[in-house]
């Protein structure tokens, strides 16, 4: 078994995805070790979850910096202290600049609450409802300079059931996120997944479309984990 990959997780909120990733590391479903959790917002519940699990935490409050560059310089110094193999954005709600993204290109993943390329940005659940989409869900992708537009790796989807609200969709999608993100992180930690020339590669094959994990039988998912 290869050495567990060191991971740094960036959050801005409640950290339910962080919790799913922590649990998957502890149970051995992901061959990785979360070496630090960093929030750009003070007092968020995700920091408590990490402390509870004895994971080092840092709060780097972006409002205390004169500009984006100063904030991101501090953020990358903090990340680099842990020499992570992967940076996981788990509900991290800051847009990142070019230099920062280039520094971690190919080793930074994000989860987004929509079926990309639909609805990059904010308010994804309400926008899916307004657009009367019959399916909605979440996508994990490599982070590149295009906002929520880096190479997608995997998605998970559900049927929109009227009368559905943005709130009901948000909580149903979160359940999918908690399975999807650990699955993808596990593939990366096993070095089966990487990015090359702006394309996601899985088991040495380019992913022309994201893996739909809702379509994979439980047995097959466990092979991925």
Positions marked active-site: 112
b/e string for 199-225 if b means 16 or more Cβ within 10 A? ebbbeeeebeebbebbebeeeeeeebb
Q: Would you say 180 or 195 has its CB closer to ligand GAR? A: 180
Q: What does the angle CA 217 – CA 180 – CA 31 come to, to the nearest 5 degrees?
A: 95
Shortest distance (Å) from residue 127 CB to ligand GAR = 12
Distance CA 135, CA 76 (A): 37
Number of Cβ atoms within 10 Å of the Cβ of 113: 23
**Are the beta carbons of 48 and 93 closer than 8 angstroms?**
no
Q: Would you say 57 or 201 has its CB closer to ligand GAR? A: 57
Shortest distance (Å) from residue 15 CB to ligand GAR = 5
Q: Which residues bind ligand GAR (CB under 6 A)?
A: 11, 13-17, 46, 90-91, 111-113, 138, 174, 177
Number of Cβ atoms within 10 Å of the Cβ of 60: 19
Shortest distance (Å) from residue 210 CB to ligand GAR = 15
Residue with smallest beta-carbon separation from ligand GAR? 91
Shortest distance (Å) from residue 213 CB to ligand GAR = 15
Number of Cβ atoms within 10 Å of the Cβ of 68: 15
Helix H or strand E encompassing 51:
helix 45-52
Q: Would you say 81 or 130 has its CB closer to ligand GAR? A: 130
Q: How far is CA 204 from the centre of its chain?
A: 22
Q: Would you say 81 or 212 has its CB closer to ligand GAR? A: 212
């Amino acid at each position: 078994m290869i050495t567990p990959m060191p991971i740094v997780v960036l959050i801005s909120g409640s950290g339910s995805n962080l919790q799913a990733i922590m649990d998957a590391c502890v149970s051995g479903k992901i061959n990785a070790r979360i070496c630090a959790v960093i929030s750009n917002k003070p007092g968020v519940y995700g920091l408590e979850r990490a402390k509870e699990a004895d994971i080092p935490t840092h709060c780097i409050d972006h409002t205390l910096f004169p500009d984006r560059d100063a904030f991101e310089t501090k953020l990358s110094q903090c990340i680099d202290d842990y020499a992570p193999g992967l940076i996981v954005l788990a509900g991290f709600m800051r847009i990142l600049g070019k230099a920062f993204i280039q520094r971690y290109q190919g080793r930074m993943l994000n989860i987004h609450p929509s079926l990309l390329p639909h609805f990059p940005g904010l308010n994804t659940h309400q926008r899916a409802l307004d657009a009367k989409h019959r399916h909605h869900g979440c996508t994990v992708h490599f982070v590149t300079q295009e906002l929520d537009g880096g190479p997608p790796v995997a998605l998970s989807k559900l049927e929109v059931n009227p009368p559905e609200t943005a709130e009901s969709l948000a909580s149903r999608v979160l359940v999918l996120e908690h399975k999807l993100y650990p699955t993808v992180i596990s593939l990366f930690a096993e070095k089966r997944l990487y990015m090359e020339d702006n394309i996601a590669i899985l088991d040495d094959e380019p992913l022309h479309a994201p893996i739909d994990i809702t379509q994979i039988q439980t047995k097959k998912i466990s092979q991925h984990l």
